[in-house]
């Protein structure tokens, strides 16, 4: 069959231009006579890709020099451990930070992060959402001696996105931006660290990126496993050992694609259009479709909704797939539908899905 529109929550759609370039240079990477997959991470050809990717990401996200950009492996769960291991231990210069991590919990991923940090040390909960909303600034209880405050900027399972950046005073703020990085401008100077997996808006699974302020690197305890210490990456330009070279190459192509499209501001515009098209159909459907998240906190990335008559679910999914609109089932833990409209999903994909939803409603409403 031909290429479909892919609403997978991750790993998810890549720009067609990126895939075509990968295909075209797969057997011979730019005259080396080898595939990019076959060359040493210390070769000139690869280190150029590696360094350019860091530089382009820095530029796309406006990350100043006082933040290090780290390329890691292990996905979100590895960061769930690395954040507390790297930030819980107070440096001797700052003995007041003994309160452990403080977590804002408003969905599956922030809950998992808090759970792992709780296993590794003492934590507190700043606030809990009820999976329809985002806790607001005035509801956050942050201990003065907290080591850091952690939250997940976009929760993919329920489709909930923060509509503000928490103010945590002098306590470093850490954000999981796995599912909405590069989809709207933000000021990293408000954060001590951000991290994200690559497989939604920055390429493929197997690469995890963090941007960490210098002064927060080097705080891990003496016996921290070497690959869990941000310093191991910071001090070796993310090449203490062989990095996931192919995933970094894909990220490089995604950077070029993003730049050509108009960068993060353009992605923000498209995200509003794509998610807006779908939420409009839901809101105009008089209950045929309904979402659970309060409008102010609706994710621009993961549009979740339920059919009033759930016996139509399978038909809905089948008819959509027949039109090339794929992977729209909700997360197995909550059911319903979920259309993820990450950067690489064309606006046309969202409008075709919106048109299909209207048509399906007309025929079954």
Q: Is 199 annotated as a binding residue?
A: yes
Among 103, 104, 116, 285, binds a copy of itself (CB under 8 A): 116
Residues 68, 109, 231, 274: which is the catalytic one? 109
Buried b (16+ CB within 10 A) or exposed e, 331-355: beeeebbbbbbbbbbbeebbebbbe
Among 126, 134, 204, 251, binds a copy of itself (CB under 8 A): 204
The yes-or-no answer on residue 200 being catalytic is yes
8 A C-beta contact, residue 164 and residue 106: no
The yes-or-no answer on residue 190 being catalytic is no
Neighbours of 189 (CB within 10 A): 11
**Which residues lie across from 208 on neighbouring strands?**
72, 197
Q: Which of residues 264-283 bind a copy of itself (CB under 8 A)?
A: none
For residue 2, state whether it binds a copy of itself (rule: CB under 8 A). yes
8 A C-beta contact, residue 281 and residue 265: no
Please tell me what DSSP assigns to residue 221: -
For residue 222, state whether it binds a copy of itself (rule: CB under 8 A). yes
Q: Which of residues 80-109 bind a copy of itself (CB under 8 A)?
A: 80-82, 85
In the block, tokens 């290090």 appear at 68
Residues 68, 195, 200, 229: which is the catalytic one? 200
Q: Is 176 annotated as a binding residue?
A: yes
Structure token pair of residue 332? 């197995």
From CA 254, how far away is CA 273, in angstroms rounded? 21
For residue 337, state whether it binds a copy of itself (rule: CB under 8 A). no
Give least dist CB 51 to a copy of itself, A.
17
**Which residues lie across from 194 on neighbouring strands?**
175, 211
The yes-or-no answer on residue 236 being catalytic is no
Q: Is 242 annotated as a binding residue?
A: yes
Q: Which of residues 11-40 bind a copy of itself (CB under 8 A)?
A: 11-14, 16, 19-20, 22-23, 26-28, 31-35, 37-40
Angle of helix 75-87 relative to helix 108-120, nearest 10 degrees, comes to 50
User: Given the rule CB under 8 A, which of 55-63, 69-77, 146-154, 304-312 is the region that contacts a copy of itself?
Assistant: 69-77
Annotated binding site for pyridoxal 5'-phosphate: 109, 156, 176, 199, 241-242
Question: Would you please indicate which residues are annotated as catalytic (active-site) residues?
Answer: 109, 176, 200
């Amino acid at each position: 069959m031909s290429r479909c529109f892919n609403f997978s929550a991750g790993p998810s759609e890549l720009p067609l231009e990126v895939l075509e370039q990968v295909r075209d240079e797969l057997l011979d990477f730019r005259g080396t006579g080898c595939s990019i997959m076959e060359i040493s991470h210390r070769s000139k050809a690869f280190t150029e890709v590696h360094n350019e990717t860091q530089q382009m990401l820095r530029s796309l996200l406006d990350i100043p020099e006082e933040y290090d950009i780290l390329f890691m492996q292990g996905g979100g769960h590895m960061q769930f451990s690395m954040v507390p291991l790297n930030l819980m231990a107070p440096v001797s210069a700052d003995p007041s930070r003994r309160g452990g991590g403080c977590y804002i919990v408003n969905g599956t991923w922030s809950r998992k992060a808090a759970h792992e940090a709780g296993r590794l040390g003492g934590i507190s909960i700043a606030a809990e959402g009820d999976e329809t909303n985002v806790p607001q600034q005035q509801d956050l209880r942050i201990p003065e001696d907290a080591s850091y405050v952690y939250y997940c900027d976009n929760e993919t399972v329920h489709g909930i996105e923060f509509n503000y950046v928490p103010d945590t005073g002098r306590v470093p703020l850490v954000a999981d931006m796995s599912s909405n990085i590069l989809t709207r401008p933000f000021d990293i100077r408000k954060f001590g660290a951000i991290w994200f997996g690559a497989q939604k808006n920055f390429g493929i699974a197997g690469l995890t990126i963090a941007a960490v302020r210098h002064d927060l690197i080097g705080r891990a305890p003496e016996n921290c496993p070497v690959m869990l210490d941000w310093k191991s990456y910071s001090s070796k330009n993310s090449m203490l050992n062989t990095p996931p070279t192919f995933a970094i190459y894909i990220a490089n192509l995604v950077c070029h694609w993003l730049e050509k499209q108009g960068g993060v501001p353009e992605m923000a515009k498209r995200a509003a259009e794509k998610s807006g098209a779908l939420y409009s159909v839901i809101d105009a459907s008089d209950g045929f479709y309904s979402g659970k998240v309060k409008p102010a906190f609706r994710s621009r990335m993961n549009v979740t909704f339920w059919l009033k008559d759930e016996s139509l679910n399978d038909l809905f999914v089948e008819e959509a797939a027949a039109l090339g609109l794929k992977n729209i089932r909700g997360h197995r833990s909550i059911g319903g539908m979920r259309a993820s409209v990450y950067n690489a999903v064309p606006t046309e994909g969202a409008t075709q899905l919106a048109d299909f939803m209207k048509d399906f409603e007309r025929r079954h409403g």
